Amino acid sequence: MRFACSPSPWSEAVQVDLLACFVSQPSDGVPAELLPIDQALDGLISSLFESGDFRGEAGEQLVTWTGGRAGAPRLVLMGVGENPDPEAWRLAAGQVARLIERYRVRGAAVLASPKATRNVVEGLALGVYRFDRYLKDEEQFDSSETSVQLLGGDDVEAVRRGELVAEGIAAARDLVNGPGELVTPSFLANWAQEVAEHESLDVKILDANACRERGMGAFLSVAQGTNEAPRFIHLTYRPAGKPRRKIALVGKGVTFDSGGLDIKSASNMLLMKKDMSGAATVLGVAKVLGRLAPDSEVHVITAATENLLGPEAYKPGDIVRASNGLTIEVLNTDAEGRMTLADALVYTSQLGVDAIVDLATLTGACKMALGDRIAGLFSDPDELGDEVRDAAVRAGEKVWRLPLDEVYWDRMKSPIADMGNIARSPGTPGATTAALFLKRFVHGPAWAHLDMSAPVWTERDEGHLRKGATGFGVATLIELITA
């Protein structure tokens, strides 16, 4: 889609194929900004409100044929409810995007609150997202040439920001939706190198030998069971002037997770291409990092590997040594994400950054606690957690603070190593003990951890979301690094 601001409100001079009006649930009657359109339509909108056929509730939509009046043959009324947050605007805009596809619209005009411009752009752009490259002869409407006028606003920067956020989210979705046979560690490394060139980032790719020289025994233990070579990826953005601060974004990069010798069930393994969603999120941010141009130095890091069952696969009962010298007894080979993150966090702690935020599809326990739309947030200290939470609120993504209570650490101890990679005791909060494990590998910087196993994937189309990868976390991280 191509977006343009039109500072003037609606007038009959606006000639488009579809006019979409976003309506916050009104207290009484037609909103003032719709009155000129209502007049042009001989009171049609008033009658819809008076009859109760349209109320402006969140997700409510009404499409009516105007006969060419009001500058468009089709009028869409789209409800966003009372006090809509960024996600409400995105979901509603995504619904409009579906209508643009359905009616093969080449020119549209949108009337919405100027304060919501960025979120409306995000929703429209993501609402036409498709991962259809493997569909044979699938005839789809190409919306890339559709022009959208944003009426009554002139915030060009908000439009640009919305386009960049949507581009980053779409990139993350593509990486997660891609099949495991394609999206391998080497694929991610090559992808990162292309992004680095496009966005003027520094790039460092470590192979297995380089990781071995750095003592990354935890990460490399997971990589033993696959023929796909592991890759440790580090991208760096540096602002033109002195950075306001230095922040690192670390994403779990297990490109396919069979569970290893503690193999998953067939149903649980089916979608394990999405176990690199943390990496996809941070790489999605990297995709637009140079054009976002934050005043902070930003490091994007992932330790990428598969977790398979080859003859050299690590085994339950093995003891491995991480790069900070701590030993780990492998109690379950399906707790592999924390093993890869352990060495990634040690490496990142040595970069002299002020803060680290890691993102991972780490535990099923977090989904059990928070459901399928909310990520669990842990932090040390609390202040960084507050920053991440506030960034998520501004982005319209949902996170919830969970306890990082040391009372549970005893359950992670091993009689023959410094720690186990899972807790031994039943009834232990799995998301908390996983976070406590990761904490042992962070030394110096403030640290926050997002356990996002559930919200990175959806099984249904809704608004700007398509069945499959959601790109969760990209918007929050962009808010965090640009605040």
- For residue 31, the enclosing domain spans 2-152
Say if residue 91 is in the same domain as residue 220: no
Q: For residue 215, what are the contacts with CB-CB under 8 A and spacing of at least 6? A: 321, 322, 323, 325
306 within domain boundaries: yes
Predicted confidence band of residue 176 (pLDDT cuts 50, 70, 90)? very high
Active site annotation includes 69: no
Parallel, antiparallel, or unpaired: how do β-strands 231-237 and 202-206 relate?
A: antiparallel
Statement to judge: residues 318 and 340 lie in one domain: yes
Pair (90, 188) in one structural domain: no
Residue 247's pLDDT is: 98
H or E stretch at 93:
helix 86-102
**Pick from 26-35, 194-203, 288-297: least confident:** 26-35
The pLDDT of residue 8 is 86
Q: In this structure, are residues 341 and 360 in contact, taking their beta carbons and an 8 Å threshold?
A: yes
**Pairing of the two strands 327-329 and 202-206:** unpaired
* Residue where one domain finishes, among candidates 119, 152, 185: 152
In this structure, are 409 and 467 located in the same domain?
yes
Among candidate residues 274, 338, 389, 411, the one labeled active-site is: 338
- Residues 133 and 240 occupy one common structural domain: no
| Confidence label for 141 from pLDDT (cuts 50, 70 and 90) | confident
Render pLDDT for 212-261 as a digit per residue (tens, 0 to 9): 999 999 999 999 999 999 999 999 999 999 999 999 999 999 999 999 99
Q: What is the pTM of this model?
A: 0.96
Judge whether 338 counts as a catalytic residue. Answer: yes
Rounded mean pLDDT, 283-300 = 98
pLDDT value at position 224? Answer: 97
- 336, part of any domain: yes
Q: What is the DSSP letter of 3?
A: E
Instruction: Based on the fold, state whether residues 271 and 395 are members of the same structural domain.
Output: yes
**338, exposed or middle or buried, with CB in 10 Å at 0-12, 13-18, 19+?**
buried
Question: Which residue among 69, 160, 214, 264 is the active-site one?
Answer: 264
Helices 185-199 + 277-286 axis angle, to 10: 20
Domain closes at, from 152, 186, 212: 152
Q: How many domains does the chain have?
A: 2
CB 195 within 8 A of CB 286: yes
| Interatomic CA distance for residues 183 and 178, integer angstroms | 6
**Residue 425, pLDDT score:** 84
Tens digits of per-residue pLDDT, 389-416?
A: 999 999 999 999 999 999 999 999 999 9
Residue pLDDT, tens place only, 309-330: 999 999 999 999 999 999 999 9
Q: Decide if 158 is inside a domain.
A: no
Query: Are 145 and 231 members of one domain?
Result: no
Last residue of a domain, one of 107, 122, 152: 152
Question: Looking at residue 136, which CATH number applies to its domain?
Answer: 3.40.220.10
Residue 27's pLDDT is: 63
**How high does pLDDT run on average in the chain?**
96
**Same structural domain, 222 and 118:** no
Residue type, 326: L
Confidence at residue 9, expressed as pLDDT on a 0 to 100 scale: 86
